[in-house]
């Protein structure tokens, strides 16, 4: 919609607004490829390993009608992003790989769509594959209460190939049809309102937020505020980073001018004056869950400190969520700080002070820190950066395991009843007895029991059978032991032989 056309609409009452369509589905089922096919615009090529790890918003125009699309990641870590995507959308596309089956995140997406109470369209993708079986998918979906039209339900389904760009026209038609039925209207003569769907700190531009306008017209130079952050808008850009003067309902925008990075999921509103906006801002930041968890350090647990830096809020949230799920019975993972932005000197100082590792996700290390690392001969500063979320998680897991001391595991090997004490001196004795359980070997550690109570310990210096040195005596054998220990063994004592094994720490 051009600004002029929109203006005409404002004057003629409640204008229509384009649908906001969220693309949801299991990892690798082809969400980004579908958007790429729709927009004929390379999105996937920019991603690390083709895995979407952030939320993206795009606008397309079909037969003069606009549609806003929100791409979401399918990886299990990003459930909050998917829920947020469904929350801001009018319609959901549920993408399912026709050659596969309904997967965990397919189900999770269905739950998010149902919670958001928006209509869904099933997109049966990868129909070009020889083993594609869309009927099987429809059957699976109907079993979980998602019944498509051809199965007697009300949910439209479309078969597409994002790769071969087939079925795209039909899909767009269905989207516009569903949108028409929703009669999406929006007030434009009210203060602008919207939802932040992604945010990050840009080295040169400062805080950058991606938002969807929900109501009103957002203009460059507006004063807006979320619950926590104020912005005297410096500029607004469309999804392609092109400067625009105003943005209308349903439009995805990039907003520059926030004083600090607003949190994803926050609503923003525009205000007449800065004073009015400031009144609405909450003074206290809500405590972030992970970083501020009160740790139960009773039982002398070990603690591994880390500092997390990420490209966008959404990925930090996902990483924190996954880290929280690592087993922490033996070592506690403490996230000292979790922040958007590059790894800077403040992080390095905090890391040094608290003996923490710095873990970066799709962020750079500032030149001053790099220089410091270069000169740090002792290599005390541990900084690692990652592009793929599960590599990061694996690294932290390895760190936790490494910090565990090897556990010593004790295994009982044999039992002997003492029948005779031959000889003794200071801490040595020769005793004879019968092996009643297991076996006895030279070198094993021993514990001595009298009337079921442990009375001392020691080890086997030498072992004899029939007055000959042997390495082993089995159950039923009579054996002589040269014992060294802290007790005088008596006739009738029970001698237990055991082994100790050092086992690598397991979380
Ligand atoms: N044969 C075939 N392959 C496809 C099709 N659509 C996507 N793919 C392939 O499937 C893989 C995953 O595609 P993406 O678009 O990255 O999947 P996604 O759902 O966005 O994945 P995440 O964002 O990580 O959840 C890529 O290798 C694509 O080339 C299709 O229609 N046919
Ligand atoms: Mg993707």
Whole-number Å distance, alpha carbon 478 to ligand 1 midpoint, is 71
What whole-number percentage of the chain has pLDDT above 90? Answer: 55
Q: Which ligand is nearest to the CA of 162?
A: 1
Atom of ligand 1 nearest to the CA of 29: 19
Cα–Cα distance for residue pair 258/232, rounded to 1 Å: 7
430 within 8 A of 418, measured Cβ to Cβ: no
In the predicted structure, residue 106 carries a pLDDT above the cut 80: yes
Atom of ligand 1 nearest to the CA of 33: 15
From 28, 43, 387, mutation site for ligand 1 pocket: most ligand atoms within 8 A of C-beta: 28
Cα–Cα distance for residue pair 164/34, rounded to 1 Å: 10
Q: Which residues contact 93 (CB under 8 A, 6 or more apart)?
A: 21, 22, 23, 24, 25, 31, 34, 120, 121, 123, 171, 175
Report the relative pairing of strands 453-465 and 478-485 from DSSP bridges.
antiparallel
Tokens of 308: 């997390």
Q: Which ligand is nearest to the CA of 82?
A: 1
> Which residue has the least CA distance to atom 23 on ligand 1?
52
57 within 8 A of 38, measured Cβ to Cβ: no
pLDDT tens track for 254-268: 999 999 888 888 899
Atom of ligand 1 nearest to the CA of 75: 25
Q: How confident is the model at residue 313 (pLDDT cuts 50, 70, 90)?
A: confident
In the predicted structure, residue 419 carries a pLDDT above the cut 90: yes
pLDDT of residue 108: 92
Q: How confident is the model at residue 42 (pLDDT cuts 50, 70, 90)?
A: very low
In the predicted structure, residue 103 carries a pLDDT above the cut 90: yes
Range with lowest mean pLDDT among 1-10, 57-66, 110-119, 153-162? 1-10
Global pTM value:
0.66
Atom of ligand 1 nearest to the CA of 47: 16
Report the relative pairing of strands 243-244 and 193-202 from DSSP bridges.
unpaired
In the predicted structure, residue 371 carries a pLDDT above the cut 90: no
Mean pLDDT, range 280-306, rounded to an integer: 54
Cα–Cα distance for residue pair 25/241, rounded to 1 Å: 27
Say which residue, 402 or 480, is predicted with more confidence: 480
Whole-number Å distance, alpha carbon 165 to ligand 1 midpoint, is 12
pLDDT of residue 298: 41
From 24, 50, 96, mutation site for ligand 1 pocket: most ligand atoms within 8 A of C-beta: 50
pLDDT tens track for 443-469: 999 999 999 999 999 999 999 999 899
Cα–Cα distance for residue pair 448/378, rounded to 1 Å: 48
If you ran DSSP here, which 8-state letter would residue 261 be given? P
Whole-number Å distance, alpha carbon 53 to ligand 1 midpoint, is 14
pLDDT of residue 297: 40
Cα–Cα distance for residue pair 205/467, rounded to 1 Å: 87
In the predicted structure, residue 406 carries a pLDDT above the cut 80: no
Which residues' Cβ are closer than 6 Å to ligand 1? 25, 27-33, 44, 50-52, 73-75, 125-126, 128-129, 161-163
Whole-number Å distance, alpha carbon 45 to ligand 1 midpoint, is 11
Say which residue, 41 or 133, is predicted with more confidence: 133
Cα–Cα distance for residue pair 224/230, rounded to 1 Å: 6
Whole-number Å distance, alpha carbon 22 to ligand 1 midpoint, is 16
Q: How confident is the model at residue 58 (pLDDT cuts 50, 70, 90)?
A: confident
Task: Kindly report the average pLDDT of the chain as a whole number.
Answer: 86
Whole-number Å distance, alpha carbon 29 to ligand 1 midpoint, is 5
Atom of ligand 1 nearest to the CA of 95: 19
Whole-number Å distance, alpha carbon 119 to ligand 2 midpoint, is 21
> Which residue has the least CA distance to atom 2 on ligand 1?
126
Whole-number Å distance, alpha carbon 90 to ligand 1 midpoint, is 24
Q: How confident is the model at residue 9 (pLDDT cuts 50, 70, 90)?
A: very low
Task: Find residue 485's DSSP bridge partners.
Answer: 458
From 162, 167, 315, mutation site for ligand 1 pocket: most ligand atoms within 8 A of C-beta: 162
């Amino acid at each position: 919609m051009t600004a002029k056309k929109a203006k005409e609409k404002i004057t003629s009452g409640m204008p229509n607004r384009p649908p906001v369509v969220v693309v949801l589905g299991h990892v690798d089922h082809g969400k980004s490829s579908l958007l790429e096919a729709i927009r004929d615009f390379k999105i996937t090529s920019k991603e690390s390993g083709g895995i979407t790890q952030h939320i993206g918003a795009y606008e397309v125009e079909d037969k003069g009608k606009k549609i806003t699309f929100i791409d979401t990641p399918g990886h299990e870590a990003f459930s909050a992003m998917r829920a947020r995507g469904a929350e801001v959308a009018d319609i959901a596309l549920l993408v399912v790989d026709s050659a596969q089956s309904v997967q965990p995140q397919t189900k999770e997406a269905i739950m998010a769509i149902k919670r958001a109470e928006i209509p869904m369209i099933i997109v049966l993708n990868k129909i070009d594959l020889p083993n594609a079986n869309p009927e099987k998918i429809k059957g699976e979906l109907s079993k979980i209460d998602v019944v498509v039209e051809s199965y007697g339900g009300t949910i439209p389904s479309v078969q597409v190939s994002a790769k071969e760009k087939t079925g795209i026209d039909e899909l767009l038609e269905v989207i516009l049809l569903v949108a028409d039925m929703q009669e999406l209207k929006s007030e434009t003569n009210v203060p602008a309102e919207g939802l932040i769907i992604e945010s990050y700190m840009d080295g040169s531009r400062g805080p950058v937020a991606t938002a969807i306008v929900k109501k009103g017209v957002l203009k460059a130079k507006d004063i807006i505020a979320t619950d926590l952050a104020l912005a005297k808008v410096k500029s607004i850009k469309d999804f392609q980073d092109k400067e625009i003067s105003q943005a209308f309902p349903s439009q995805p925008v990039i907003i520059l001018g926030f004083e600090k990075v607003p949190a994803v999921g926050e609503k923003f509103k525009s205000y007449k004056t800065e004073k009015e906006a400031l009144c609405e801002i909450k003074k206290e930041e809500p405590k972030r869950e992970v970083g501020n968890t009160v740790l139960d350090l009773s039982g002398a647990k070990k603690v591994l400190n880390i500092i997390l830096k990420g490209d966008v809020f959404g990925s930090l949230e996902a990483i924190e969520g996954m880290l929280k799920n690592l087993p922490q019975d033996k070592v506690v993972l403490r996230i000292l700080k979790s922040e958007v932005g590059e790894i800077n000197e403040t992080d390095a100082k905090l890391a040094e002070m608290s003996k923490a590792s710095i873990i970066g996700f799709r962020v750079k290390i500032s030149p001053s820190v790099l220089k410091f690392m270069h000169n740090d001969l002792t290599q005390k500063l541990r900084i690692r950066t990652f592009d793929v979320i599960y590599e990061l998680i694996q690294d932290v897991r390895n760190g936790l395991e490494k910090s565990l001391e090897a556990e010593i595991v004790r295994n009982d090997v044999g039992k002997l009843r003492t029948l005779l004490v031959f000889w003794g001196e200071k801490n040595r004795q020769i005793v004879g007895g019968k092996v009643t359980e297991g076996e006895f070997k030279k070198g094993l550690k021993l514990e001595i029991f009298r009337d079921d109570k442990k009375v001392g310990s020691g080890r086997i210096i030498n072992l004899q059978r029939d007055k000959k040195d042997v390495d082993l005596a089995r159950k039923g054998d009579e054996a002589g032991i040269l014992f060294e220990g802290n007790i005088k063994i008596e006739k009738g004592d029970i001698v237990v032989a055991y082994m100790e094994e050092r086992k690598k720490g397991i979380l």
